[in-house]
Amino acid sequence: FVPVGRWNHSSGLNMYRPVHFFDGTTKIPDLNLHRPFDYFDCKDGRKKTDETGKTIDLEKPKWGAGNIDADYFCDEYLDCDDMSDEPYDCVPSFKILFIVYGIITGLLILFTILVFVPFTILFGFIIPRRRVRASSPLFLLIIIVSGVVGYGSTYAWYGKPQSVACGFQPWLLGLAIVSMNSALIAKTFRIWRVFRSPFTVKVISNVELIVLWIILVAPVLLILFLWTLVSTPTAKLEEHDGLEHLVCGPGGFTDSIVAGYVWFFLLVGYQGLVMLFGIILTFAIRNVPSKFNEGKLIAISVRLIHLLSILLF
């Protein structure tokens, strides 16, 4: 030790040379030491290290977050606004998945709009063809529009969860599925009514079928309205695998995952009842002439649509 002063009872502390610390200066060292740690900078899109252990303040992965824990990198959750925490070299890569499926979905939407819609309008209304007319062109258009909305609903799942997108997810997909199924069932219902008594002439107008379609769709509108009102789907922080992530979940008055499951099973349960009704109708028209009988195609479509809805939800 190098003496720098002296203390006694009479004069107290007497400093006769400045204090020099281990760095060779008189600057008081920082005794508040922390261990260095790694973090991910969402703005720069790369991992960094805070050597002091206290310069960087880690943030929760909410919207607008800048510096998050390094463990969020490639953890199969989107935590940065620009998805930079899940780059192309992560496995799986969300960016690649979104690009591939987004392009495929967009092409399907364009093909449906540019091919099926003009075909149905042309041969269903302008230059009527018997086969197209027998398939109810108005309801073919409803099915096409429902399909386009269903395709487009997948975009609500892309990117970091956001409250607006979370709210649209059940509405877009739920309405698209029930609308398509209800249109298929309405077409089948007309065939069943016409051929139920082959010796009696019946005319089932499109207005009657539209009423049936509305009746089938209305319960889903009510379920989705109450779901949004009571347990509003929103983006919220939840802990998964030891880290908090922004995910879509129930909010509103209930703010409970149980309430979310209740509304989900109500929606899927009603879709199941609609599917059962469609299966019964397709069985009832099994002996109808093949020109009008679309029972097998409708049955396959209804089952695939419900399977898809369960998987997506």
Condensed to tens digits (0 to 9), the pLDDT of residues 166-178 reads: 999 999 988 998 8
pLDDT at 258 over 90: no
| Single-letter residue type at 86 | E
Q: What is the pLDDT at residue 299?
A: 60
Q: Which tokens in the block code for residue 59?
A: 């943030």
Bridge-based pairing of strands 233-240 and 243-250 is: antiparallel
To the nearest 10 degrees (0 to 180), the angle between helices 257-284 and 295-312 is 170
pLDDT at site 190: 83
Distance of CA 144 to the CA centre of its chain: 22
pLDDT digit string, tens, across residues 44-58: 999 999 998 888 999
What value, to the nearest 5°, has the Cα angle with vertex 100 and ends 85 and 107?
Answer: 140
- Find how far residue 28's CA is from the centre of its chain: 55
pTM assigned to the model = 0.80
Q: Residue 6: what pLDDT?
A: 83
Is the pLDDT reported for residue 33 higher than 80? no
- Residues 26-65 as b/e (b if ≥16 CB within 10 A, e otherwise) read eeeeeeeeeeebebbbbeeeeeeebeeeeeeeeeebeeeb
| Banded pLDDT at 280 (limits 50, 70, 90) | confident
Q: Is the pLDDT of residue 306 over 80?
A: no
DSSP SS3 for 259: helix
3-state secondary structure of 129: coil
Q: pLDDT class for 1, splitting at 50, 70, 90?
A: low
Q: Do residues 278 and 299 touch, judged by C-beta distance below 8 A?
A: yes
Q: Is 10 exposed, middle or buried (0-12, 13-18, 19+ CB in 10 A)?
A: exposed
Q: Does position 74 have pLDDT exceeding 70, yes or no?
A: yes
Over 70: is that where the pLDDT of 313 sits? no
- CA–CA distance, 110 with 120 (Å, rounded to integer): 15
Higher pLDDT pick, 287 / 294: 287
| Residue 93 DSSP class | -
Cβ neighbours for 28, distance < 8 A, ≥ 6 positions apart? 21
CA 242 to chain centre: 23
Lowest mean pLDDT among 12-21, 76-85, 104-113, 301-310: 301-310
> What's the chain's length in residues?
313
Q: What angle do CA 67, 70, 71 make, to 5 degrees?
A: 130
